Structure 1
């Protein structure tokens, strides 16, 4: 299958038994797995100090692997952005390497896109997806498509609430030549005002987050809205927002409330939900920074890339 390089650029891996189980599953699928020597390093909450994690990223770039796969997210990449080996990462992508991850990896994805126009992939992480009791079949199939170089698109079924919000969507919605970009909402919003947030105009922005209450999700979206980021897009795709707890104080304020509010702020930008991506078992793989076409056929959303 593919030569994978597994490294830890963010949070420390604590469950070593699960780590070994995940590696065995990748190898059983036919992949040649190369493990970074500092993959299990630990410093405070991080997978090693800053120098250790920067060196791991450099080794990944120089590995010649087909795919560089993160072990997990957490936190740690944002503080490394001024010192990332941008040229080495860009050169590895030009040679054919796919950098894959989600969550905290969004910081690196946005930075390399902003600084060098380098394309990466939003997708699974080792501990999130291969260390579980039962890895998701769709996620594994999407990853295998990437490993074999045959993935050309993805799709999902729109919730009925989206069609009620946009009655004409199923009849005539087709976007051409739009840059797909995005990732974790908290990480992305934290890059506003820095040189590490891409200035994408007329793009398709996808977002997800985990452990954030709907009011905090709205606050993060408001930051992107007031910064002018959301209004410059041709569409916004919302993935999974999960692992939060509502309280009696909310009095009906929930995630659907936030979506309705966002749509009211952006009457000319469709806000579509249900994208299978985020901290959920079933996730598609998305090309970050690549130009795509987007089509709605009845209730099916289809994204196509090269």
Structure 2
């Protein structure tokens, strides 16, 4: 069953080059709720494993996610309802929300890792304890459907969270090294696509396309485009003013990408942003025939007229090697180079 079906059931290092060492940054968010930084994470700390969305199809996912965290030098505590199931969901809404709230409340838990995505996280948003999250800010890591949590927590608390691999996802060398650099070494990351060794005269993989050249600074918001636009009209969408919007998607025909960008345009969000990054749109092919708008045309229609620095092709999305992006972190975007770099710390000192 694909992502789009699940979403509908819910309602409608050439790559990561650290800058020299760790830095003590200063600065304030451009607008909205006051920024909050999570506690830092160190080897030997305990992380909480939760499943806010789809139920796991096999207990092996839990075993793999646990072993991944242990291989990174961390101790794992599993949510009380991690392997529960109600329909396609990992337990009832109350159970899944309770696991997240419990992990934020537990002083022994230093970070919260989402087991997987799928669908259902948006159902939890009214049930999360935002006062608790403000009082005990911690790292939250996940992507895809977890975009709902990133957006709501950003809107309600200002806490910086992290869009990146889920616990049961791919933890290749690239992702694992990125995790260590960002979370353990707390380096100021430079996010630039890696080139792969392939038998081609010029590289074909991980190519970037500059939509509009230029540089801009701002705080990052975004995630999965489908999940993000499904929050339109709710109180769980953060302020877009002066932000750099990053989005990605999977298994969506181009006309659906056009529809979702149109939604962001009509609600005034696109006119507020200062920069734009499009990651990967995996398996986003027309469903057949001639006459579809291409992604090139869609970005020309929606993004080019904004006249803001913008590029596409970033290693963000449903791909094996993916950036760990700080939602709420302040960066400088370079659309000509197809990269962005952290300008401020994203953890408490």
Does the TM-score normalized on the shorter chain lie above 0.5? yes
Displacement of 1:246 after TM fit? 2.8
Per the alignment, residue 175 of structure 2 pairs with 139
Per the alignment, residue 329 of structure 2 pairs with 290
Q: Measure the CA separation in 1 of the matches of 2:106 and 2:315.
A: 31
Per the alignment, residue 237 of structure 2 pairs with 197
Displacement of 1:98 after TM fit? 0.6
Count of residue pairs brought into register by the alignment: 288
Displacement of 1:50 after TM fit? 1.1
Q: Measure the CA separation in 1 of the matches of 2:180 and 2:82.
A: 23
Change (3 A) 1:248 1:174: closer
Normalized against structure 1, the TM-score is what? Answer: 0.87
Q: Measure the CA separation in 2 of the matches of 1:174 and 1:260.
A: 19
SS in structure 2 at match of 1:293: strand
Q: Measure the CA separation in 2 of the matches of 1:245 and 1:160.
A: 18
RMSD: 2.0
Change (3 A) 1:247 1:49: closer
Instruction: Say whether the 8 Å CA contact 1:179–1:200 is kept in structure 2.
Output: no
Displacement of 1:215 after TM fit? 0.7
Normalized against structure 2, the TM-score is what? Answer: 0.77
Is residue 2:150 matched to residue 1:109? yes
Instruction: Say whether the 8 Å CA contact 1:3–1:66 is kept in structure 2.
Output: yes
Deviations 1:275-295 (A, max 9, x none): 111111111111111222334
1:20 to 63, 73, 80: 63
User: Greater relative contact order: 1 or 2 (C-alpha under 8 angstroms, separation 6 or more)?
Assistant: 2
Per the alignment, residue 36 of structure 1 pairs with 79
Instruction: Say whether the 8 Å CA contact 2:133–2:157 is kept in structure 1.
Output: no
Deviations 1:96-121 (A, max 9, x none): x2111111111111112112222211
1:217 to 247, 257, 274: 257
Deviations 1:167-199 (A, max 9, x none): xx3xxx3323x1111111111111111111112
Q: Measure the CA separation in 2 of the matches of 1:234 and 1:45.
A: 38
Instruction: Say whether the 8 Å CA contact 2:164–2:324 is kept in structure 1.
Output: yes
Instruction: Say whether the 8 Å CA contact 2:130–2:156 is kept in structure 1.
Output: yes
Per the alignment, residue 281 of structure 1 pairs with 320
Per the alignment, residue 7 of structure 1 pairs with 50
Deviations 1:97-151 (A, max 9, x none): 211111111111111211222221111101222xxxxx32211111122331413
Instruction: Say whether the 8 Å CA contact 2:51–2:82 is kept in structure 1.
Output: yes
Per the alignment, residue 247 of structure 2 pairs with 207
Is residue 2:92 matched to residue 1:53? no
Per the alignment, residue 132 of structure 1 pairs with none
Within-5 A mapping of 1:177-256? 178-251=218-291, 253-256=293-296
Instruction: Say whether the 8 Å CA contact 1:66–1:147 is kept in structure 2.
Output: no
Displacement of 1:252 after TM fit? 5.7
Which blocks of at least 5 consecutive residues in structure 1 are unaligned? 130-134
Q: Measure the CA separation in 2 of the matches of 1:290 and 1:46.
A: 30
1:153 to 185, 189, 205: 189
